[in-house]
Amino acid sequence: MTQKQEHLSKNQQIVLSIIERAKGPLKAYSILYNVQKRGIKAPLQVYRALEKLIEAGKIHKIESKNAFIACKNSDCEISKTTAFSICNNCEHVKEIKNLKLSKYLSNFADNSGMKYKKYNLEFFGLCKNCKIKQ
Amino acid sequence: MTQKQEHLSKNQQIVLSIIERAKGPLKAYSILYNVQKRGIKAPLQVYRALEKLIEAGKIHKIESKNAFIACKNSDCEISKTTAFSICNNCEHVKEIKNLKLSKYLSNFADNSGMKYKKYNLEFFGLCKNCKIKQ
DNA sequence: ATAACAAACGTTATATTATAACAAATTAAG
DNA sequence: CTTAATTTGTTATAATATAACGTTTGTTAT
């Protein structure tokens, strides 16, 4: 029962709620714009909250987009292993939850003698909808 | 024999040669600093060269670091599928060339109906050297 | 409760990364 | 050659992210 169920601070809660309500990944300055009515005025306040939320596994950063998305994988406790599918057309992003994939990658070892504790995988392609339309 | 053996322009050659000589990934503004003696004066000249070099598969962007590294996988013709190992301590970055891994990921399909043509995978951990020292 | 410490906050300034817009020069293709 | 496409040079500016500092709030141990 020693869940890392962090208590979230006020700013962290505000930022998280914006990200959770969003349909897709949000950029930091777009978050900032959205939370100004709630008293958060400066970029740094947003970035600090983002940092903590990432540590807590509540959100992930989509590196190729510099954007942030809520974690839907409730069982990835600290979620150091992430995979996303990204549509090149409509920009839709979805976290991939696939046990085989995550096992495969978590156990991956090459001949470098390096053991990996963390990875981030971003797949790109056309989503079902956009494939039809084109 | 229809290799996409692009002719590289002057600026593209200059930027590529800097990246190829480097021991690790280089940041755009560090590249800029390195090529100023060769007549490239502005960020945009560097970014334009980087863009073309990525398209040509000569270099890759390490998204988590906003840095650029030469492609050592001579057989990845356009290299839309990339994997890297990154040491969290010494920051050493190495492109992973592993046929099983690339086959596995290239063939990966989840239930979303999305077919992936491109991916980028970044593994994090401690390299052999840093593991010993700690 | 309160002292001691850690975490979060607010604020200003600034660093870092990346692109827009436009005109001139160079290169490739018919 | 000449037309089209690409690359270049240049200035300005947008977008993303962190440094530094002092204050406030929250936690823990006595």
Name the β-bridge partners of B82. B120
* A73 or B99: which leads in pLDDT: B99
CATH of residue A46: 1.10.10.10
- Do B56 and B101 fall within a single domain? no
- Per the structure, the complete domain to which residue A125 belongs is given by 81-133
CA distance A93 to A69: 9
Across the 134 residues of chain B, what is the mean pLDDT of every consecutive 10-residue run? Answer: 62 98 97 96 98 94 98 71 94 93 94 88 93 73
pLDDT for position A73 = 75
DSSP string, A69-119: EE---TT-SS--EEEEEEETTT--EEE---HHHHHHHHT---TT--EEEEE
- Do B100 and B65 fall within a single domain? no
What percent of chain A stands above pLDDT 70? 90
Give the distance from CA A27 to its chain's centroid: 11
Judge whether A44 lies within some domain. yes
Cβ-contact A46, A82 below 8 angstroms: no
pLDDT for position B31 = 98
pLDDT for position A2 = 29
- Do B21 and B65 fall within a single domain? yes
Whether nucleic acid strand C comes within 7 Å of the CB of A83, the answer is no
- Do A44 and A91 fall within a single domain? no
- Do B15 and B63 fall within a single domain? yes
pLDDT for position A122 = 98
Judge whether B90 lies within some domain. yes
**B124: nearest Cα among B79, B78, B86, B81:** B86
The size of chain B, in residues, is: 134
CA distance A60 to A8: 16
Whether nucleic acid strand C comes within 7 Å of the CB of A125, the answer is no
Query: Where does B31-74 show beta strands of DSSP type E?
Result: 59-62, 67-70
pLDDT for position A114 = 85
pLDDT for position A74 = 65
- Do A96 and A52 fall within a single domain? no
- Do A58 and A107 fall within a single domain? no
Strand C-proximal residues of A, range 6-45, CB below 7 A, are 6, 9-12, 39-45
Average pLDDT, chain A: 90
Residues on B contacting A at a C-beta cutoff of 8 Å:
63-64, 80, 85, 87, 94, 96, 98, 101, 104-105, 108, 110, 112-128, 131
CA distance B108 to A128: 15
SS3 B97: coil
Return the structure tokens found at A10.
């006020």
CA distance A91 to A101: 22
- Do A40 and A64 fall within a single domain? yes
Return the structure tokens found at B102.
């690339």
Domain boundary among A70, A97, A119: A70
pLDDT in tens, A87-117: 999 999 999 999 999 999 999 998 888 889 8
pLDDT for position B35 = 97
pLDDT for position B110 = 87
Structurally, chain A folds into a number of domains equal to 2
Question: Which of the listed ranges A11-25, A116-130, B116-130 does the model predict with the highest average pLDDT?
Answer: A11-25
Give the distance from CA A36 to its chain's centroid: 22
| Å: A43 CA to D20 C1' | 15
Domain boundary among B22, B51, B70: B70
